[in-house]
Amino acid sequence: MALPITPDYDSWPIDETLVKVVHEARYLSVTWSDGRVSRFHSVWLRENAADDTTVNPATRERILDLSQIPAWPEITEASIDEDGALSVLFTPEDRRLRFHPGFLRANDYDNQDALPPELPPLTLWHGEQLEQPPTIDAARLAEADHGSAQEAEILYPTLHELLGKGLVRLRNLPTEEGAIEKVAERIGSIRTTNFGHLFNVRAIQNPDSNAYTSIALPPHVDLPTREYQPGLQCLYCLENTVEGGMAVMMDGFAIAAALKEEHPEAYATLTTVHWRYANTSRNTDHVWYSPMIVLGQAGELLEVRIADFLRGPMMAPFEQTETAYEALMTLQRMLREPRFAMRFTYAPGDMVIFDNRRLLHARDAFEGDSGSRWLQGCYLERDEVRSRYRMLKRAERAERVEEATQTA
């Protein structure tokens, strides 16, 4: 026998082994070689088994319907077998199922605080602390095969910075029109919008956005007018010889945290009152209502929706209106404070990727006839970054497992 497969596609290194198991009918406790004790419920174990009555081996998706088992799954026997797997006999099915210790350790829900974070933790920043985007030389990216170690060497730190600080700058990419697409698709699918699959940020005649002029743009996120605003924005510089037009970025989460600390009433208002966001052009009419700072159930920051030129007429209850505007102006004053802003100049071959639901971007005005400024842009979702990052971690684990197998 060998170790059982796991219900996922992952490879789980065995850093600690199982040394002891004791069980009750409805849960068991295992002791690990480092002394940690983990409890697992019988029902949890039953549905996370990897056999073909539980998951479809072709898709690794669950096919078991727990409610179809005639009674609550209980444990009649549990042991550690000669391969180091946890072996459990379940009733009423009278079915023996085996569990990979690496999988159990990685999914130890009884000791969640001891698990390594799945994704890099958020690092909030002010421009005073982070003066330039975290920068990675991507000159060798174009020649790297998809899924290769060479690609991972560039992508891993890229995604790490993106998930932690909300932005990253790749440098020395080819200055070819459309090259952005190849880089973005190394992370995931591009989200097409009414501005196109890719969009060109340069001054044009008859613009349908202030972005396509040479005027200054205030700090904003793109498309807060959508129910689901794009999670990521990529801006890729092809030409930049104009005077002015410096890029400005700020961490909207750091601003929200400062607002909470310094103006708690304004924070309370901006996390609850709904504003109307509107992007009405000649051919489209996108409208969405949302608080300006969106929190999760535990009060954590999920997104900011700050874009003054994309707010429609407010439609909050009459009694809330003045309070809402007061809070808005408090926030607007903070946005003008120099402590939050990072300023930098795009060089041709730079691609800045940033979390569009967290960071605000802005631009100084530029002299339209002093040269040319051409950025290409596209959107992706946060999901794509998280998935790609997990895939890189998975590849790293597979390599560790492979090495361990070879030395064994």
Interface residues with Fe ion (CB under 5 A)? 222
Residue type, 141: L
Least distance from Fe ion to the Cβ atom of residue 221, Å: 8
Tell me the two tokens of residue 55.
């998951």
What phi and psi values does residue 131 have, to the nearest 5 degrees?
Answer: -85, -25
- Report the distance separating Cα 346 and Cα 324, nearest Å: 36
Least distance from Fe ion to the Cβ atom of residue 222, Å: 4
Burial class (CB in 10 A: 0-12, 13-18, 19+), 162: buried
Contact 189, 380 (CB under 8 A): yes
Least distance from Fe ion to the Cβ atom of residue 302, Å: 20
- Residue 222 or 303 with smaller CB distance to Fe ion: 222
Least distance from Fe ion to the Cβ atom of residue 191, Å: 15
Q: Residue with CB nearest Fe ion?
A: 222
Least distance from Fe ion to the Cβ atom of residue 356, Å: 8
Least distance from Fe ion to the Cβ atom of residue 220, Å: 6
Contact 165, 130 (CB under 8 A): yes
Least distance from Fe ion to the Cβ atom of residue 102, Å: 44
- Residue 108 or 222 with smaller CB distance to Fe ion: 222
- Report the distance separating Cα 162 and Cα 355, nearest Å: 7
Least distance from Fe ion to the Cβ atom of residue 212, Å: 10
- Residue 125 or 199 with smaller CB distance to Fe ion: 199
Q: Which residues contact 158 (CB under 8 A, 6 or more apart)?
A: 136, 138, 168, 170, 353
Least distance from Fe ion to the Cβ atom of residue 223, Å: 9
- Residue 41 or 311 with smaller CB distance to Fe ion: 311
Q: Which residues contact 151 (CB under 8 A, 6 or more apart)?
A: 141, 144, 145, 186
**CA 87 distance to own-chain centroid:** 36
- Residue 49 or 359 with smaller CB distance to Fe ion: 359
- Residue 32 or 374 with smaller CB distance to Fe ion: 374
Least distance from Fe ion to the Cβ atom of residue 362, Å: 8
- Report the distance separating Cα 338 and Cα 330, nearest Å: 15
- Residue 140 or 197 with smaller CB distance to Fe ion: 197
What phi and psi values does residue 169 have, to the nearest 5 degrees?
Answer: -120, 120
- Residue 106 or 249 with smaller CB distance to Fe ion: 249
- Residue 73 or 245 with smaller CB distance to Fe ion: 245
What phi and psi values does residue 68 have, to the nearest 5 degrees?
Answer: -85, -10
Q: Which residues contact 89 (CB under 8 A, 6 or more apart)?
A: 75, 76, 77, 78, 95, 96
- Residue 101 or 245 with smaller CB distance to Fe ion: 245
- Report the distance separating Cα 315 and Cα 274, nearest Å: 8
Contact 68, 58 (CB under 8 A): no
Residue type, 160: H
- Residue 23 or 220 with smaller CB distance to Fe ion: 220
> CA 10, 14, 17 angle in degrees (round to 5)?
140
Tell me the two tokens of residue 289.
């209502």
Least distance from Fe ion to the Cβ atom of residue 361, Å: 6
- Report the distance separating Cα 66 and Cα 69, nearest Å: 6
Residue type, 79: S
- Report the distance separating Cα 238 and Cα 120, nearest Å: 31
